[in-house]
A and B are shown apart, each in its own frame.
Chain A
Amino acid sequence: MKNLDHHRDTESTEEALSSSVPLWFKDSTLSFVMPLITATIGLAIWAAAVKTSGTKIFPSPIAVAKAIGTLAEKSLLWHYIADSLTRVFAGYAAAIVIGIPLGFLLGWYAPLARAINPLIQMLRPISPLAWMPLAVIWFGVSNAAPIFLIFLASLFPIIVAAMNGVRNVPPMYLQAGRNFGLSTPQLMRRVMIPAVLPRIIVGLRLAFGIAWVVLVAAEMIAVDSGLGYLIIDARNAGKHYDLVVAGMLLIGLIGLLLDTAIRKIEQWISD
């Protein structure tokens, strides 16, 4: 079938043309080196700004690095990171376990969605942080309060992703499934779930981003460990702004790492 190859060529050409990234950039070492250069420039600007302005409050990059070093030495750093990660994963896992089946149900049974969806859409725009006073009343100053907030923060994007995913499965996939004689459970397993999976993964990544943001804020109030607590504690205990900025950087870096990890999973599943 010579003609078949012709089409493949056309499509890969189009693919190459449609990519706006120049070819030399596709080199993986370069795509690693470029962000490093950006980071170095950023650090240099930061250091120069601190030096020329003569600020006594905002720490230099070196002061921040030292602060991280001190934290790491006291093993407080690992302790805080572990606490933050445990909380975020607990809340997130609970949201997955409840959100995905609920989203499937809502996507599958239109009447149920009509009944419940307005409630979800009303709760969704409420910042999870607005629940904080209630969470503290319900759970006290404990791990459960931030976990509950993480759960709320990630629940809605997961429900909505699963629901829209199910609704947007091309009807012909289901029609084909039924045509080949699949029962409803088989249709679920062999057609519905694989068809919805890519959308759910996108929803999961979105939810994780929100969860991470909310976690840090939650830790500023409800608990006495974790990266959020580190920031608020450093300020309260004598304005250690080097620790504040160290906490911020750590939150950003860990967020980046986790997002990259989820993206990898996403690629792996869609391949």
Chain B
Amino acid sequence: MKVQFSDVSMRFGAMEVLQRITLGAEEGEFLCIVGPSGCGKSTLLNIAGGFLAPGSGSVTIDGERVTAPDRRRIFVFQERGVFPWLTVEGNIGFGLFDVSEDERRARVAQYIELVGLKGFEKSYPRELSGGMKQRVEVARALAVNPDVLFLDEPFGALDSITRLQMRSELLRIWRAERKTVLFVTHDIEESVQLADRVVVMSARPGKIRRVVDIDIPHPRDLSSRRYIELRDLIFGEIGLAHQV
């Protein structure tokens, strides 16, 4: 297993947030974690990122225990994580402070191209739309060539059209780069569109209710019977009747 959660529990004061989470992600796997808000899925991701120490249990990556943040595994926030005082170029090159100037320039150019921001190199985040800022953040993460990406509701602040576009962009990038991806979302549709496996969590204290294999090849047909079946399965698992 690339990323292994072993019996991870967490409490904030008297509040139990995570209860005995055991979960593994394989190398190159796209794993989505869904659950109602407050189920501790973000906490779980922050523990894996090394930003929080688990109350008990442990997380290992490549068999090595996670104790601190590490640039081999980068956390991507909603688009608010881009630095407003740096240009697109400056943001994407932010983590490349220990490589030569030439390599830095080459890698920045490569990832600007990959996320489709050519022509916006000198723009500042305030001049960009939400979706573009999100691309900057993804490119900033990829530029340091990490082997794991943690994405915490990265598209949550985007409008639904942009969100759909960003999903297919992310899948394209994931196929090109083959990173292990842990993607936290409360959007069930999103998880079924993206993931190899969907981890369904229960409301607080967060426990794993079920892990669902999404056995639909990419590109996924969102009106196929299998897609709807899996989606409804997860809706049911979370306890939502899929009707308004």
- State the A residues within 8 Å of B (CB): 1, 3-4, 7-8, 10-11, 170, 172-173, 175-176, 178-181, 186, 190-191, 194-195, 197
Q: How far is the CB of A15 from chain B (nearest CB, A)?
A: 10
Q: How far is the CB of A174 from chain B (nearest CB, A)?
A: 10
- C-beta contact mask, B198-213 vs A, less than 8 Å → 1, else 0? 0000000000000000
Are B127 and A8 in contact (CB-based, < 8 A)?
yes
Are A170 and B165 in contact (CB-based, < 8 A)?
no
Q: How many A-B residue pairs have CB under 8 A?
A: 62
A173 CA / B82 CA spacing, docked (Å): 8
- C-beta contact mask, B104-139 vs A, less than 8 Å → 1, else 0? 000000000000110010000001111110000000
- Among A3, A8, A173, A178, contact of B83 (Cβ-Cβ < 8 Å): A173
**Tally of chain B residues near chain A (CB < 8 A):** 28
Are B70 and A175 in contact (CB-based, < 8 A)?
no
Are B75 and A179 in contact (CB-based, < 8 A)?
yes
Q: How far is the CB of A170 from chain B (nearest CB, A)?
A: 7
- Measured between beta carbons, the chain B residues less than 8 angstroms from A7 are 129-132, 162
A197 CA / B86 CA spacing, docked (Å): 13
- C-beta contact mask, B154-187 vs A, less than 8 Å → 1, else 0? 0000000010010000000000000000000000
B12 at the A interface (CB under 8 A)? no
- Measured between beta carbons, the chain B residues less than 8 angstroms from A176 are 75, 77, 81, 83, 94
Q: How far is the CB of B135 from chain A (nearest CB, A)?
A: 9
- Measured between beta carbons, the chain A residues less than 8 angstroms from B165 are 3
Are B94 and A172 in contact (CB-based, < 8 A)?
no
Chain A contact residues: helix, strand, loop or mixed: helix
Q: How far is the CB of B148 from chain A (nearest CB, A)?
A: 11
A63 CA / B45 CA spacing, docked (Å): 74
- Measured between beta carbons, the chain B residues less than 8 angstroms from A194 are 83, 85-86
- Measured between beta carbons, the chain B residues less than 8 angstroms from A195 are 83, 85
B74 at the A interface (CB under 8 A)? yes
Question: Which residue in chain A gives the minimum CB-CB distance to B68?
Answer: A178
Question: Which residue in chain A gives the minimum CB-CB distance to B146?
Answer: A179
- 19 residue pairs of the A-B complex, CB under 8 angstroms, read A1-B116, A1-B117, A4-B116, A7-B132, A8-B127, A10-B129, A175-B51, A175-B77, A176-B81, A179-B49, A179-B69, A179-B70, A179-B71, A179-B75, A180-B94, A181-B69, A181-B70, A181-B95, A190-B94
